[in-house]
A and B are shown apart, each in its own frame.
Chain A
Amino acid sequence: MAALSPPSDKVTFWYGCNVVRHGDIIYNAIALLEAVGMEVTPAGGAGYCCGTKKDANLTAAQGMGRRNVEKFNAHNTGQVVSWCPSCYRHMNAFISQYTEPQFDLSHFIEILYERRDWLATKLIHPVTKRVLLHQHLGFHEVDINPMVIALLRLIPGLELMTTSPLAPAHMCSELSRVPASLKVVNQQTCESMRRSGADTLATVFHSCQRLLCGLEASESFTVVNYVNLLAQSMGLVSVDEYKDWKLAGTAQAVIDRLGPDRVAKMGEPFFHASILPELLSPPIK
């Protein structure tokens, strides 16, 4: 039987760059870590970019790697918990080879899985959904799919199906480099949803949520990241605003949903040139 409360551990939660589109995922991930006893120092955004995209500029890549290790060492938590599989991979395979990290590196799912007995005591609200899990096969460093499956099975009322084919790459953003492959994966995903009779597609990674959530415009299922399902079962209410913008359909509807203040904060010309095209582009199908 689980002890009444988990041991407290200080961790730096390295949420990454691209996940900042999904504040709901960041807040829920922090809430989940706290629920299993972690004392969390969040870190992410451009100032903590791992540099994995900088292969064409190794001076920049190295500078970013060193900067992150220095900042994490200064956090003095002794443990960095990464959300993003690319950050995890880049820290492990490259950055740690020429720096001196004074911390251990874990992936977010490993912490929750290790402390799943405590997590289970917090998952008290039924989530009555028929869920199909969207899975990739590329995150070889951490066997994430079985762990996500085990955690989702702790949610009362949730019926989980795992019949979707394993997509190549470690997450959908990598597949988007080869659009034909992303198209095949998306078609297979929609087909699996139809065949399974599921009403909810659960994504594991933020980039899958980003690239798949727009399917709701044309399909009869919802797309939700798994941490939001866990958070819902803890009684937390979250809004996937990014999905809301993706489903807005027109430029004016996106602006209405964002509100003029936030558009102004982004800078109107930049919003129109760079943000809006992303939000208006439908998923490849």
Chain B
Amino acid sequence: MISFKGKPSADHLVEHLESFIQDTLARCTQCGECFKACPMTEYGPGLKEARPQEAVAGILDWLKGVPNHATSLDWLKVCTQSSVCIKACPENINVMKMMRTAQISALGSLGAQPALKSRDEKDFFRKINAFSATQLTTEEIEKWQR
């Protein structure tokens, strides 16, 4: 169980991401352990031969808003939030969140030129509503989903 106590660290999402980025850039030593531990690198073209330190440097570039289109992008594309990287990091960085924030940057949401396609699924909410209508009663939808 998590208790959310006290004031939040930021007033809005981008402010939080900026502070997470600054903290990560300050602490990451680019040792490459997270990349070495990643179970998904076998699915990215060129990742098997990539130097771990270079892959991580590319991710940090995305955090800085500097586009890095080679290895780092291939790594971002195959990240499926396995969380193995978190346990591998000697600096206790939430590497999965680091990867997600780099994805956010590569999507163009933090000012860099977009290099990744959005994961937004077409008609996502319409589908959710359609399936809801097959599984729940009108009263449940009214009570539980508004």
Contacts and interface: CB of A to CB of B under 8 A. Distances in A.
Interface of A: 17-18, 20-23, 26, 42-49, 53-58, 61-62, 65, 89, 92-94, 96-101, 103-106, 110, 137-140, 168-170, 174-175, 177-178, 180-181, 241, 258, 262, 265-267, 270-271, 274-275, 278
Contacts of A20: 128, 131-132, 135-136
B83 A137 contact: yes
Q: List the 8 shortest-distance A-B pairs measured between CB atoms, nearest first.
A: A23-B135, A45-B145, A56-B118, A169-B80, A140-B83, A266-B130, A174-B80, A62-B13
A266 B133 contact: yes
Contact of B12 (A49, A62, A106, A177): A62
A92 B81 contact: no
B145 A97 contact: no
A42 B123 CA distance: 24
A86 B122 CA distance: 19
Given A105-B1, A106-B1, A97 B16 contact: yes
Contacts of A271: 130
B100 A49 contact: no
Given A53-B119, A181-B80, A140 B12 contact: no
Nearest to B14: A58
A185 to B, nearest CB: 10
Contacts of B136: 20, 23, 26
Contacts of A55: 100, 103-104, 107, 109, 118-119
Nearest to A258: B134
A58 to B, nearest CB: 5
12 contacts: A21-B135, A46-B125, A46-B132, A56-B120, A93-B94, A93-B100, A97-B9, A98-B8, A98-B11, A98-B16, A105-B2, A138-B83
Q: Which of A45, A62, A100, A175 has the most CB of B within 10 A?
A: A45
Given A98-B15, A170-B82, A178-B80, 11 more contacts: A22-B135, A43-B145, A62-B14, A92-B2, A97-B10, A97-B13, A98-B8, A140-B86, A175-B80, A178-B43, A265-B133
B88 to A, nearest CB: 12
Contacts of B133: 262, 265-266
B133 to A, nearest CB: 5
Given A92-B2, A105-B4, A56 B128 contact: no
A275 B129 CA distance: 11
Residue of A17, A48, A92, A137 ringed by the most chain B CB atoms within 10 A? A17
Nearest to A48: B145
Chain A CB within 10 Å, residue with most, of B13, B77, B96, B122: B13
Contact of B130 (A48, A57, A99, A267): A267
Contacts of B121: 53
B39 interface: yes
B70 interface: no
A178 B79 CA distance: 9
B116 to A, nearest CB: 8
B120 A46 contact: no
A52 B109 CA distance: 14
Given A57-B120, A178-B80, A47 B109 contact: no
A168 B120 contact: no
A175 B140 CA distance: 31
